[in-house]
Each structure stands twice: as structure tokens, then as C-alpha cells.
Chain A
Amino acid sequence: MDDFNSETDSDYTSYWRDWFISSRGNEYFCEIDEDYLTDRFNLTGLNGEVQYYQYALDLVTDVFDLDCDDEMRETIEKSARHLYGLVHARYIVTTRGLAKMLEKYKKADFGKCPRVMCEAHPLLPMGQADNPNAKAVKLYCARCEDIYNPKSSRHSAIDGAYFGTSFHNIIFQVYPALIPAKSYDRYVPRVFGFKVHAPAALIRWQHAERDEMRRRLRKLEIESGFKDDEGDVEAEDSEEEEEEEEADPEVFENGEAQGGQVGPVA
């Protein structure tokens, strides 16, 4: 954000949006159409949210011509960035905005899910609140349906309201073909090949929850969307059996039965 002054001193009224979306740290934003920005209806209610609203809007739409000191200019620039973000949250749930964000999603411009079992599934930016200055942007993975913190500090300071709480869910309603196959794949904590009892009990409970959901959906004849699906709800878990080859029950049976020492080598 500080780069702004140095980069635009001379050339301050041209292509503000181009500059904005290509600035380092602004990779999550798409370019809002001029048409959208100049339709006052789309900006309803934002003049109260943004200081020097009209100047800020002029700056964003490349018609800013106020002669002012640097301090004032910086204030207006800050307002322009804020305004752009707030309009952005509205724009990305329009047909054109969704399409633009979809392209970025396909290129994994928003990063990839850090969860190992998600196999680098691309993320989508999201907000945990729609009002500004509440929460920073997070990244949503449609495969595990969870949210993650951006890796880079230059992204972790962006206001989540610039993406909003709905966009990343709407995009999958509009483009259902994009919904990734859900997977049972998961990590199971083990010690010398053996499951640890407390996490294993929790995992069994979670799997019972999952199977319960699957039964509900089946009753309603709704596709569950699991890739490891099709078969019997009760008879899954093949993925865990694969891991068993490593275990040597003989060695640990004793320790296990007594709940005794299974640990340290030395």
C-alpha cells in the first residue's frame, strides 16, 4: 500500500484500477467493470462508509482532478482503496464478477489448501463478516469446507469485508459443476502403527456423524457428493486398512493389552 505514492506520482489519474489489482498484496482482487462502478445504484449506502466518497470514487474511475496537498491525496487514496474493496464485495456476486473470480480460482490465484488430504485444492477468499474493520480475509477450501489463514502477511491484513461472507458459497450454487468431490481421507494419529485410543474414539464418533448425514441424504435422495461413495455406508474405511501393513501387532500386543510402555526406543 505504501508503494502507491512512489509509483503513481506522475501518472496519477490513469488506470487506477489496473494499478490497484496488479499491486503486490492485491492478488485476491479482480477488476471491477467501469460500468458497474458508474452505476450509482450499485454503490447504494457506501457514501456513509467512505471518507471523501466522491473524490475516492473519482480516483477509482480515473476522473480525479482535485488539486490538493500530499496529505489530502493520501487520505483520498486510502478512501479509494476502501471504496474499491467495499464495491468489490458486491461486484463478485454478480454474474460478471463471479466469472472473473472463477478464472482466478482456476488459476489458484488465491492459493491452495494447506490440508494434506485436500491435495492442494484451490482456495477462495472470504470474509467472516460483511461489515468492514471486523475480520481479516480468510481462505475457504470447498473440498474440506474449512477456512484457513493466508500464508503471507501481505494478505493477512486485507479486510475480509472486501470479499464478504457469501461469495464463496454463491459461486458453488451458480457453478455446481465446480463442487469438488468430497473425501473421507483423513489423518489418523498413530504410535508405532497403532491408533491412539482417545483420538480414535473421536474419529469413530465423527464417522458415525458422517454416516448419519449420509443416511439422511440418501433418504431424501440427495447426492452426497463423496468420491468414495457408492458402496455401503457401513462398509467403508478401506483407506485405513491400507495403512495397516506397517503395523506389527505381535510387538505391541503386550504393551497394548496392559496399556504399558510402547514408547521410547532408548
Chain B
Amino acid sequence: MSSSSGTPESWISSFCSLLGHEYFAEISEDFIEDDFNLTGLQAQVAMYKEALEMILDVEPEDDDDEEEEEEEDEGDESIEGEEGAIRQRAVERRHHRMASDLSIIESSAEMLYGLIHQRFICSRAGIQQMSEKYELAHFGVCPRTNCEQVRTLPVGLSDVPGEDTVKLFCPSCLDVYVPPNSRFQTVDGAFFGRTFGALFLLTFPDYDISKRGAEVLGGDRSSRNLPDSQRTDDEKINGFNAHNLAPGLGQGKVYEPRIYGFRVSERARSGPRMGWLRNRPVDLHELDEATLHAAEHPDESDDGAEVESDPRQAGRRRQNGGSPMDVEANGETYA
């Protein structure tokens, strides 16, 4: 903000207020101005320097007018018409940008903002800002009936831009969904990235993720306190608060197909096959045992064994909670 005191709205806040950009956090200028945070982005974005200046509202004085017009309505006819005139002036002043450059810079700025955003929301300040948006249910609610409208988080399925659009991660069923409104289907998923969703859960273990989005908006505080006070367990399973480990899954939350009241048998050709995807052990300690078992019988594990060489010790440590930052390698078998 300091560098744009004369401007009514910064590039960043106008970008974030565009239709379809509701999921974005406003990256702090401090974050962008720290070169370390931008490492490697120069090679990914055309006209990097100009794009960065645009994001930070640092512009050569002469360009102010065109820049703002361009910002308001991209691809406007009138701007095309002015192109000739602008070119003439560009000849006179070498540092003057051409209109065609402006649209490149504009789209580069959006790309650059998105890529920085992917990093920003995994920083302390960024994830904090996203948590405020989450609290207000800015990212919508899970469409799955048995998740009972819990709040979701925006995520990407890839960290590479251009591959897929933004999705919504539901911490209650640990699945990802297409945002309900088509305006989000043009927002690049890489601008949120693969890490943010899970990192959010690890960073804020005390959120009641089974709280309904509607309750948040309705300011219904009482229902939030109720489960908390009834809960006797601050127990942790594998480093997660037990009550926050996929509360939308398990007994009573798995759809059971029925015909005239009778459950469709697994033996039927059309019988249920996907129950496992929405299931969860009744006793969550079974998950510790599964870990133990996997370590003892690495052949049977589908994800490879744990890092720990002594399965007993591993089991014991997990029972005590482990670290909330506990992560696993990708299927490599260390044992």
C-alpha cells in the first residue's frame, strides 16, 4: 500500500475483487518484495520485471493512464484503437510500453500473482489470511450430503500452471470437488497448489472441521461450543486430533443402497463397491494398528512401509500423538 498511496485501489486488491477471484488472498507487499519468495519464478513468467512492477503498482509515471484502462477491461476495442498513437509515443520515449505489451504484462502479472499466491498461502501470514476466509466459509461447503455442509478449502491438483482448475478440498471426507459455480472453472489450480489444503489441517489442528458453513454465517456460536464441551477426548491419532480425522466418514456416513428398504447385496452385479472410500474404522486406534501391521509386513502394504525400523516403537510413538507435522515419503520402502 505504501507505494500506491495516490491510487484508489491497488492492483492486488482489484485483482482479488474480480468475479471468480473470491478464493484468492491478498498477498502482502512484504512477501512479494522479499526476493527469496520469488525464487525461480522469473523463468516461468514472460516480462517478469514489468509484471512484478504492475502487481506492486510501481510504474513509470507516463504509463499510469493506459495501465488503469487496461486493467479495467482487458481487450477493450478503444485500447486497440489507441495502439497506433501509443506506438508513436513509444518511439519518442523508449521506456514507454506498447499497448500490446500491456496486455502481455497484464496476463503475466496474473500468472505471476498466482504463482506467488501458491507460495504465499503456505506462509505464516498467508495461511492465516486464508484461515480467516475459511472461517467465514468464503470457499463454500462440501456438496456431499453426509458431510453436512462443512467448509472446504481451495486446492490445486497440480503445482504447474495450465494443467487444471481450482478444486475444493473437504477436510471432513478428504476428497476434492469441482466448485459449484462455473466462474471458478477458469481459475488455475496451480495458484493454490497441492500443499495448501493438507498444510492447513496441520497448521490449524484445533478448528472444528465438522462445523457447518451455515452456522458460521448465521453466527450460531452455541452449536460450536456444544460438541467441544461434550468432547472428553483431546486424543490424537497419528498426530491428528481424533475428532478432526475425517469426521464425515465412517459408520452412519456411508451411503448404503437400498431397494424397498432392503440393502442391495454386495453379491449383486449392481451391488455396492465403493463403501471403502467413505469408510473409517469405528475405533480410530485401528489406524495405529494398521500402521504397525504395515511396518511388520511391508509386502502387504500398498503404500510401502513406514520410515521407522522398529514397528513397536513406531506404534507407541504414534499413540502418543506423533508430530502434527508428520508427513510420509511417497511409497518408498525404507525398511
Known A-B contacts A169-B264, A191-B195, A195-B328; A145 and B272 likewise in contact (beta carbons under 8 Å): yes
How close is B127's CB to chain A, nearest CB, in angstroms? 7
Chain A interface mostly helix, strand, loop or mixed? mixed
Chain B's nearest CB lies how many Å from the CB of A146? 5
One of A115, A146, A148, A262 near B325 (C-beta < 8 A): A262
Please tell me the number of chain B residues within 8 Å of chain A, measured between CB atoms.
85
B107 contacts chain A at the CB level, 8 A cutoff: no
Nearest chain B CB to A229 CB, angstrom units: 11
Q: Is B58 on the interface with A (CB-CB < 8 A)?
A: no
Min Cβ gap A112→B in Å is 8
Q: Would you call A225 and B267 a contact (CB within 8 A)?
A: no
Query: From residue B131, how far is it (CB to closest CB) to chain A in Å?
Result: 13
Interface presence of B6 (CB below 8 A): no
Within 223-247 of A, Cβ neighbours of B (below 8 Å) are at 223-226, 234, 236-237, 240-241, 243-244, 246-247
Minimum CB distance partner of A193 in chain B? B330
The proximity string for A residues 80-124 relative to B, scoring 1 for CB distances below 8 Å and 0 otherwise, is 000000000000000000000000000000000011110010000
Complex CA–CA separation, A84 to B194 (angstroms) = 47
Q: Is the CB of B201 within 8 A of A189?
A: yes
B291 near A201 with CB under 8 A, answer: yes
- CB of A146 within 8 A of CB of B146, answer yes
Q: Complex formed: what's the CA distance from A252 to B330 in Å?
A: 11
Q: Contacts of B125 on A, CB cut-off 8 Å?
A: 266
| Interface pair B270/A176, CB less than 8 Å apart | yes
A234 to B177, CA, bound (A): 28
Is B228 an interface residue, CB under 8 A from the partner? no
Minimum CB distance partner of A263 in chain B: B199
Closest to A136 in B: B145
Query: Does A170 lie within 8 Å of B180, measured CB to CB?
Result: no
Q: How far is the CA of A195 from the CA of B146 in the complex (A)?
A: 25
Residue A146 contacts which of B174, B260, B274, B332 (CB distance < 8 angstroms)? Answer: B274
**A261→B287 CA distance, assembly (Å):** 24
A213, B266: Cβ atoms under 8 Å?
yes
Contact of B327 among A115, A148, A195, A234 (CB under 8 A): A195
8 A Cβ contacts from A111-156 to B: 114-117, 120, 128, 138, 140, 143-149, 151
Which residue from B257, B259, B300, B332 sits with its C-beta under 8 Å from A249? B332
Looking at A36-44, A61-69, A179-187, the stretch in contact with chain B turns out to be A179-187
Known: A198-B245, A266-B124. A244 touches B330 (CB 8 A): yes
CB proximity to B under 8 Å, residues A181-208: 182, 186-187, 189-208
User: Could you say which of A7-15, A26-34, A214-222 contacts chain B?
Assistant: A214-222
Give the most central of A146, A179, A194, A197: most B CB within 10 Å: A197
Give CA–CA (A234, B294) in the complex, Å: 13
Chain B residues with CB under 8 A of A54: none
Which of chain A's residues have a CB closer than 8 A to the CB of B146? Answer: 146-147
Is there contact, CB below 8 Å, between B290 and A197? no
CA distance A149 to B143 in the complex (A): 5
B105 smallest CB distance to A (angstroms): 25
**A24 within 8 Å of B (CB atoms):** no
Among A140, A179, A204, contact of B269 (Cβ-Cβ < 8 Å):
A179
Query: With an 8 A cutoff between CB atoms, is A48 at the interface?
Result: no
In the complex the two chains form, is A202's CB within 8 Å of B257's CB?
Answer: no
CA distance A66 to B76 in the complex (A): 60
Interface residues of B in 269-323 (CB under 8 A from A): 269-270, 272-281, 286-288, 290-291, 294, 299-303, 307, 318, 322-323
Contact A240 B331 (CB under 8 A): yes
Q: Is B326 an interface position by the 8 A CB rule?
A: yes
Question: Does residue A259 face the partner (Cβ distance < 8 Å to B)?
Answer: yes
* Closest A residue by C-beta to B246: A202
Contact A265 B37 (CB under 8 A): yes
Contact with B along A151-173 (1 / 0, CB 8 A): 10000000000000110111011
Determine how close the nearest CB of chain A comes to the CB of B20; give it in whole angstroms. Answer: 16
Contacts of B157 in A (CB 8 A): 116, 187
Cβ-defined contact, B269 with A176, below 8 A: yes
Convert B21-33 into 0s and 1s, putting 1 for each residue whose CB lies closer than 8 angstroms to a CB of A.
Answer: 0000000000100
Q: List 6 A-B contacts (CB under 8 A).
A: A169-B258, A186-B175, A191-B195, A201-B288, A209-B279, A256-B307
Known: A116-B176, A191-B199, A204-B302. 18 other contacts (CB 8 A): A146-B278, A149-B143, A172-B270, A187-B174, A189-B174, A196-B328, A199-B246, A201-B287, A204-B291, A209-B275, A210-B277, A213-B266, A217-B266, A236-B302, A244-B331, A247-B330, A259-B239, A262-B325
| Residue ranges of B at the interface with A (Cβ–Cβ < 8 Å) | 31, 34, 36-37, 119, 122-125, 127, 143-146, 149, 157, 159, 167, 169, 174-178, 180, 194-195, 197-199, 201-203, 237-240, 245-246, 249, 255, 257-261, 264, 266-270, 272-281, 286-288, 290-291, 294, 299-303, 307, 318, 322-323, 325-332
